[in-house]
Amino acid sequence: MAELGYVGLGVMGGGVAKRLLDAGHTVTGWNRTKDKAQWLVDAGMRWGESPREVAEQSEIVFTMVTNTAAVRAVTDGADGILAGLAPGKVYVDMSTASPENSRALAARVAEAGASMLDAPVSGSVITLEQGKLSVMVGGGADVVERVRPVLEAIGPKVIHVGSNGSAVTMKIACNLSLAVQMLAFSEGVLLAEKSGIPREKAVEVLLASVIASPMVAYRGPFVLEQPDEAWFDVNMMQKDMNLALELGRAVDVPLPTTAATNELLTAARGLGLAERDFAVLFDVLAAMSGLPAGAPS
């Protein structure tokens, strides 16, 4: 069993930390808002007073935070993770952030004698609870193998993608497809509905068809009844779409469906829907089609 640290205990980060606790590891955690992590403290997690303290008390310290700026906020400065690293320790960033920043951060971690991996996950709250997340990892092969048993407690499929920054690049490539698929699904539902087929029946048929990817299978029903709490809100998804578009320009890959979907996410924000799950793309398209949105739960 390892001495682990976890910084960033939101919906997904908190769920990952709980899986590590359940696997028998000792976990010291920190979150910007302590109240949101109290349930983990009650479950046996130790509390660190700063990201630095978490890193000092851990062999392997994880982060899962909102964006590149948030990664910098918890790694830099006198109270940051970098200040708490020492030779032999491993820092694992599970955030979806800038690959360029991830590579630069890995170099700074190496200067402290420690090692860094970028290890974002593919999945949702549901797949996390089911223990079916997949983990993509960027960094040195020897470090990946050292940390692999811990990563497998998070999700059973751990794939070493390549060097530092490669896994978060792959995560961006995955995430752009989530919103694009959701928009395409919404188009199909609305086309059927305006042609006289009840929305519920259209959803039933599409979810029983070959287009029902795992993401569509668990998020498609949101067009009928949206969750009380967003699994992955519009702002978070648009952050990832913008990362994809930035990367596409850098490597000369056109991303036309990403760009079009991103504009509808902007429309969602303009309609005051930024904190809703990104499945609210359906509501935006429904409004443009002259149809009512999905009923909120």
Active site residues: 171
The first and second tokens of residue 175, run together, are: 């995430």
Compute how many other C-beta atoms are within 10 angstroms of the C-beta atom of residue 58: 28
Residues 6+ apart with CB under 8 A from 147: 60, 90, 92, 117, 137
- The rounded radius of gyration (Å) of the Cα atoms in the chain is 20
**How is residue 220 annotated by DSSP?**
G
Q: Are 72 and 17 in contact (CB under 8 A)?
A: no
Neighbours of 204 (CB within 10 A): 14
- Length of the chain measured in residues: 297
DSSP 85: -
Report the C-alpha gap between 164 and 166 in whole angstroms: 6
Contact 234, 269 (CB under 8 A): yes
Residues 6 or more apart whose CB falls under 8 angstroms from that of 282 comprise: 182, 185, 186, 189, 190, 222, 223, 293, 294
Distance CA 122, CA 68 (A): 18
Contact 116, 109 (CB under 8 A): yes
